[in-house]
Amino acid sequence: MSTTTANDTERHLNRRGFLRVSATAVGGLLVALHLDVPAASAQEGAGQTPPPKKDYPPAAFVDIRPDGKVVIQVNRLEFGQGVQTALPMILADELDADWSQVVGELAPAAEVYKDPLFGIQMVGGSGSIAHSFQQYRELGARTRAMLVAAAAKRWQVAPEQCRTQESVVRGPGGQSARYAELAAEAARQPVPTTVRLKQPSEFRLVGKGVRRLDSRPKCDGSLKFGLDLDLAAMKVAVVAHPPVFGAKVRSFDDKAARALEGVRDVFEISVTRGGTGVAVIADKFWPAKQARDLLKIEWDFDGVERADSSRLLEQYKQLARTTGLISVARGDAKALEAVAAANRIVAEYEFPYLPHAPMEPLNTTVRFDGDRAEVWAGSQFQTLDQMAVAEVLGLKPEQVTFHTEMAGGGFGRRAVPDSHVQREAAQIAKRLRGTPVKLVWSREDDVRGGYYRPMHFHRVEIGIGADGMPAAWRHVVVGQSIVAETPFAMMMKDGIDPTTVEGVNDTHYNLPNLHVSAHHPKVNVPVLWWRSVGHTHTAFVMETLIDELAARAKADPIAYRRKLLNPEAKKLRSALDLMDARSAAWRRRLPKGHAVGISCHESFGTGVACAAEVSIENKRPKIHRVTVAVDCGLAVNPLTIESQFQAGLGFGLSQLMAKGAITLKDGLVEQRNFDGYVPPYMPDAPVAVDVHIVPSAEAPSGCGEPPVPVISPAVVNALTRLTGKRYRSLPLVAV
């Protein structure tokens, strides 16, 4: 049975992996990040997973206050996925805490809050529940045990004779004590090394649809995001970034900028890719932004590559006709040639750069005091960001207090290996020594600032067997590597970035004679993981091609998939079966002009299948309904999972939006704001989404990313039924 480590990324790590940061990436500082992969061992009963190697001190995670509040530290950023509710739920359940008294706080950067698997404090790879389920259970159980021990001592009874419920310990003789009363004494008890965890039947919170803890403050304007931070004497900074990545400031005229009231300083700083920019410091955002608009900057573009989307597309197309670095070479390399041309499919797919565009623009606040620094950031990568700030300021990481702020979305954009935004802020803070400074990226900065989901090109040649099933499959993927030359470079295998080919190289379809290779062009555009990463494009290719094969074989698309999936693909099969059952009735009764599109895909250890009912209105796809089924092992919070899928599908539709791409022309990003890059609005969302969770007691896997890959191919498969056209170029400019 798989462990909690069902993450695709993790599979490419060694048993004990060290991340070494190269001198060029972090300016001479050698950083070793220790990845601790727990020894694989057998499942120890329902819902149990091998314990993490470390013992996490409950005191760092649970604070039971005198007023009864149970404050639980969440070791990851909350940016919409619901972890600030789910992890406390898990802990509170084992703790037998009164849920109405539970508060979830986002933990600051610290050793103890590192991801038990990856050894850095982070959120990503849909790993929060998967990696911390066991951890938080044990923390809750340990805390409970210590409270019971304190009570037992007080009452001179055996701990086994005590019961706990709703933050109260009850003794065998009718004694009772609230957790708040026992907390101080409990803290003095030894932390037990072993604890008994609940059987699933004993869960009171886990497995139930529990509403989010952060709802009300997010609805009444009281919750503060990073951008809302206000500190005494704080200044606000904006940065004029070069229009082409890596260009430098040759000279600038700040006379008009400095003349504006409220503008305090203007100076040059380093920015990403070896470039430089100009920072404007003001008392508030508006004067800073206005001042920046008044800057006259001469840029030096010497030696800077000007990426161009059309040129890149041509290059990628040519590259895809050649074999790249080999990822999979299974079976007979010549099998394809043996298939007659009439029984072959040759398909080329194009995918553009995609911006994340989280609703809260990027921002970081830093104060540098000479021997200490303080940072406030909605960061997905606290450990790396803390190190980066320390490095810029000439401090040790321990000298940097790093607060994790609530973030307005991320989708991967706040998980940046080079910490470029924090580095900008740190440089500014260094100059403003003693004064806190909030660096704000405007929406334009965000849309134009890079770190996109890379452009990709796929070329697939399929040889179809006499039985209508694929007999040979040759797949070339072209796309920039996300992890190369970052602290995550050790994930590369034989020169291939696993995040480029995931979803193809590890496909659960039984594709005999499978050949997968990849090219990683180097392009002067910073790239990054975009919610579900490689699956964003690989699932689209696979699921549209499988549908095409099914159509050619005159087979039902669900039956065809069932036949083609490996028997071991349990999660996909269970999701497919459940989706089939829950959508069969409406699929049979489609109104005229409506079609259904099917897709299924596994990512980050979670199997997902969906059926989308689509028609064409005003020349765009109108999605009437989606039935989606998911197998994510134990569903910790079904209400959150339903939300992740209802909304995650909507996020996935970003890929189909007519203006849903970033394009570059001669090095310049052509889009500026939400007028040029248009994400899905309410009319673009499905009218209805029903979510079905496969009942399971297996270890939980994540739901943050798995909804995203399935929706685009499902919708497009439906469109193909309606129009007869194939859609192999995203975004969907025309239907």
Task: Please check whether residue 60 is in contact with residue 110, taking contact to mean a CB–CB distance below 8 angstroms.
Answer: yes
Task: Please check whether residue 661 is in contact with residue 354, taking contact to mean a CB–CB distance below 8 angstroms.
Answer: yes
Question: Phi and psi for 240 in degrees, rounded to 5?
Answer: -85, 110
- Shortest separation between residue 284's beta carbon and other proteins, angstroms: 5
Helix (H, G, I), strand (E, B) or coil at 722: helix
Residue 625's Cβ-count burial label (10 Å; 0-12, 13-18, 19+) is middle
- Shortest separation between residue 498's beta carbon and other proteins, angstroms: 27
- Shortest separation between residue 704's beta carbon and other proteins, angstroms: 10
- Specify the residue, 189 or 663, whose C-beta has the smaller distance to other proteins: 663
Tokens of 735: 């239907």
- Shortest separation between residue 589's beta carbon and other proteins, angstroms: 20
- Specify the residue, 357 or 539, whose C-beta has the smaller distance to other proteins: 357
- Specify the residue, 406 or 496, whose C-beta has the smaller distance to other proteins: 406
All residues at 6 or more sequence positions from 507 whose CB lies less than 8 Å from its CB, including other chains: 514, 542
- Specify the residue, 367 or 438, whose C-beta has the smaller distance to other proteins: 438
Tokens 């590559």 map to which residue? 305
Largest CA distance in the chain: 84
- Shortest separation between residue 182's beta carbon and other proteins, angstroms: 32
- Specify the residue, 213 or 472, whose C-beta has the smaller distance to other proteins: 213
- Shortest separation between residue 219's beta carbon and other proteins, angstroms: 4
- Shortest separation between residue 358's beta carbon and other proteins, angstroms: 6
Half-sphere exposure of 228 (CA within 13 A, CB side): 11
- Specify the residue, 410 or 436, whose C-beta has the smaller distance to other proteins: 410
CA dist., res. 44 & res. 61, Å (int)? 25
Going by C-alpha positions, the residue among 5, 204, 229, 171 that lies closest to residue 94 is 204
Half-sphere exposure of 359 (CA within 13 A, CB side): 10
- Specify the residue, 413 or 519, whose C-beta has the smaller distance to other proteins: 413
- Specify the residue, 17 or 713, whose C-beta has the smaller distance to other proteins: 713
- Shortest separation between residue 526's beta carbon and other proteins, angstroms: 20
CA dist., res. 694 & res. 697, Å (int)? 10
Going by C-alpha positions, the residue among 568, 589, 727, 608 that lies closest to residue 658 is 727
- Specify the residue, 486 or 663, whose C-beta has the smaller distance to other proteins: 663
Contacting residues toward other proteins, per CB under 8 A: 79-82, 211-212, 214-216, 218-225, 227-228, 230, 261-262, 284-287, 290, 357-361, 406-411, 442-444, 639-640, 643, 646-651, 653, 673-675, 678-683, 685-689
- Specify the residue, 82 or 207, whose C-beta has the smaller distance to other proteins: 82
Q: Which residues of 72-103 are buried (b: 16+ CB within 10 A; e: fewer)?
A: bbbbbbbbbbbbbbbbbbbbbbbbbbbbebbe
- Shortest separation between residue 198's beta carbon and other proteins, angstroms: 25
- Shortest separation between residue 104's beta carbon and other proteins, angstroms: 14
Distances (CA, A) of 312 to 301, 349, 525: 19, 14, 11
CA dist., res. 606 & res. 128, Å (int)? 13
What count of other Cβ atoms lies within 10 Å of the Cβ of residue 174? 6
CA dist., res. 82 & res. 632, Å (int)? 16
